[in-house]
Amino acid sequence: LDGIGPVILSGVELAGRIRSRLASEIASTGGRPPGLAVVMVGDDPASSVYVSSKEKACARIGMAGSVLRLRGDSTQEEALAAVRALNEDPAVDGILCQLPLPAHISPSAVSSAIDPSKDVDGLHPENVGRLWRGEEGLFPCTPLGIMALLGEYRIGIEGVRVVVIGRSDIVGKPIAAMMLHANATVTLAHSHTRELQNLCREADVLVAAVGRPGMITREFLKQGSVVIDVGISRTSDGLRGDVDFGSASHVCSAVTPVPGGVGPLTIALLLSNTVKAWRKHLA
Ligand SMILES: NC(=O)c1ccc[n+]([C@@H]2O[C@H](COP(=O)([O-])OP(=O)(O)OC[C@H]3O[C@@H](n4cnc5c(N)ncnc54)[C@H](OP(=O)(O)O)[C@@H]3O)[C@@H](O)[C@H]2O)c1
């Protein structure tokens, strides 16, 4: 591959097409637009950026986006009460709680309080169970985006060996479930995994969701593998993924860039989950 380089799996165009499709559906349905409410506790600067980009993304496709800002010293009970009020609000189809939360508020208590039919981050135990059982439900947006990207580039994963590094509830575990349902053979690796490099070198598809910039070098990769870089870290050189792109591109056949790979799809699939919830609420 030297001199030719890997296929760059861009998420930008696909995300754009998903957004236009949603915008036309909203415009042609008319009536009450889909509503997405984001709960944010405290004023973490990175979270503020993510929250306002979600708000703008909603507005651009005709969706009603709102942000409920709670003070950083709000109690867990106050956060849960805010979620319950949104559960009751008929103008709200999707609710998500921006992470990270302050240490005194349990993220799982908050996600368990969200009405499962409004749980657009797919973190409520009912939706987690539905995902693992292969049933219909609302599932986490980043893994949905990865599956959409693989589909877009016609990368079949049936029977292939997938290694996922990272076991978070929002990325690692749900992408493992989705890949499993798509008939891949999946291994979930994490910080206690021994001989990680050797394990990764057996992967036809490697998903890195760690948050350690440049960690994945060519030594982790099988020749011709597909590399999905979920990591986003802010460094003095700007946003960096988990994959050392320069090194990896000598070995892999396809790789997602950071930025412009998985990131744009995450927001597009969040909008898509909200529209899905809206359709069900209208029915
Ligand atoms: N592109 C997007 O839209 C998007 C969406 C969500 C997240 N992200 C990014 O993806 C990254 C991961 O986020 P997250 O929330 O999924 O994960 P997280 O909760 O931060 O967890 C990181 C995972 O990486 C594992 N890990 C840490 N160091 C490791 C090492 N040296 N070797 C192997 N595994 C290691 C941890 O293992 P343990 O479980 O053993 O601690 C953990 O499972 C972050 O950079 C985040 O910003 C991007």
pLDDT in tens, 159-212: 999 999 999 999 999 999 999 999 999 999 999 999 999 999 999 999 999 999
H/E element holding 149?
A: helix 141-152
Residue 221 clears pLDDT 70, i.e. is over it: yes
Query: What are the pocket residues of ligand 1 if the criterion is a CB atom closer than 6 Å to any ligand atom?
Result: 142, 165-168, 170-172, 189-193, 196, 209-212, 230-233, 262-263, 266
Nearest-CA neighbor of 164 among 177, 151, 181, 148? 177
Q: 141 with 121: CB under 8 angstroms? A: yes
Q: How confident is the model at residue 3 (pLDDT cuts 50, 70, 90)?
A: low
Q: Which of 144, 191, 217, 266 to mutate to test the pocket of ligand 1 (most atoms within 8 A of CB)?
A: 191
Q: What is the pTM of this model?
A: 0.97
Q: CA 184 → CA 45, 176, 192, distances in Å?
A: 38, 9, 23
Atom of ligand 1 nearest to the CA of 267: 3
Distance 61 CA to ligand 1 centre (A): 30
The pLDDT score that the predictor gives to residue 1 is 43
Q: 282 with 34: CB under 8 angstroms? A: no
Indicate the burial class of 55 (C-beta count within 10 angstroms; 0-12, 13-18, 19 or more). middle
Distance 165 CA to ligand 1 centre (A): 8
210 Ramachandran zone, left/alpha/beta (phi>0; psi -120 to 50): alpha
CA pair distance 43, 31, nearest whole angstrom: 34
Catalytic residue numbers, as ranges: 54, 98, 121
Q: How many CA atoms lie within 13 A of 79 on its CB side?
A: 29
Query: From atom 8 of ligand 1, which residue's Cα is the shortest distance away?
Result: 231
Q: How confident is the model at residue 4 (pLDDT cuts 50, 70, 90)?
A: confident
Q: How many angstroms separate the most distant Cα atoms in the chain?
A: 58
